[in-house]
């Protein structure tokens, strides 16, 4: 059941614009920058951030996606055996990688994504961009770029919808 709508289409757009500017400023441009969206909802967010950066800088930004399912610590090995490992063929060596996901919660998804990236090369720097940081970390992980900090209880869920997947842009807190 929806408890509160915390971001609409315009708020999400503003957050993406701000995050994109912050990425450019912190990295002093976009040289050797790679945007990597974490499947599922990190992918449309990464694509939007990359598009916004391209519009600002008038230069193409590499944007890829990863599926970290086989790196998760909450998936049984029986499930992992049946997965097809999509090979990540992007060269991250000596690049600045910006991992992108919709919601930062316990940090376990990001830990899995870091393992995935490191297994595929040695980046110069890894940064994290999220649309919503809801707290309740179980690992020492912090986002570099945050669209909105939303204090939640552990029994609440943060539901992010993107028009590319859900036919609307919104962020809601649900019971």
Q: What is the pLDDT of residues 44-59, one digit of tens each?
A: 999 999 999 999 999 9
CA angle 164-166-170, nearest 5°? 95
Question: Above 90 in pLDDT, residue 33?
Answer: yes
Percent of the chain with pLDDT over 70: 92
Crossing angle of helices 42-57 and 9-26, rounded to 10°: 60
Are 97 and 37 in contact, with CB atoms under 8 Å apart?
no
* Cis amide bond preceding 40, omega within 30: yes
Name the phi and psi angles at 33, rounded to 5: -95, 135
Provide the pLDDT for residue 73: 83
- The two structure tokens encoding residue 96: 């600045």
Provide the pLDDT for residue 82: 46
Q: How far apart are CA 43 and CA 45, in angstroms?
A: 5
Find, among 54, 48, 45, the residue nearest to 24 by Cα: 54
- The answer to which of 33-37, 49-53, 65-69, 84-88 has the lowest mean pLDDT is 84-88
- The answer to which of 31-35, 78-82, 98-102, 111-115 has the lowest mean pLDDT is 78-82
Mean local confidence (pLDDT), 21-46: 97
Provide the pLDDT for residue 76: 64
Question: Above 50 in pLDDT, residue 81?
Answer: no
More confident site: 82 or 174: 174
- The pLDDT confidence band at residue 118, using thresholds 50, 70 and 90, is very high
- The answer to which of 70-74, 78-82, 113-117, 123-127 has the lowest mean pLDDT is 78-82
SS3 163: helix
Provide the pLDDT for residue 145: 98
Mean local confidence (pLDDT), 58-70: 95
């Amino acid at each position: 059941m929806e408890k509160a709508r915390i971001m609409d289409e315009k708020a999400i757009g503003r957050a993406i614009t701000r995050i994109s500017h912050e990425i450019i400023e912190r990295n002093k441009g976009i040289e050797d920058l790679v945007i990597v969206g974490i499947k599922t909802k990190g992918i449309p967010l990464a694509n939007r951030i990359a598009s916004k950066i391209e519009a600002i800088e008038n230069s193409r930004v590499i944007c890829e996606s990863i599926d970290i399912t086989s790196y998760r610590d909450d998936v049984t090995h029986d499930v992992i055996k049946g997965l097809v490992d999509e090979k990540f063929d992007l060269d991250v060596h000596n690049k600045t990688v910006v991992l992108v996901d919709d919601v930062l919660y316990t940090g376990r998804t990001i830990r899995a994504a870091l393992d995935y990236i490191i297994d595929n090369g040695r980046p110069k720097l890894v940064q994290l961009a999220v649309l919503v940081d809801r707290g309740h970390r179980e690992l020492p992980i912090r986002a570099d770029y945050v669209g909105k900090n939303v204090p939640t209880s552990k029994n609440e869920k943060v539901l992010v919808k993107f028009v590319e997947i859900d036919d609307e842009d919104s962020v809601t807190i649900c019971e």
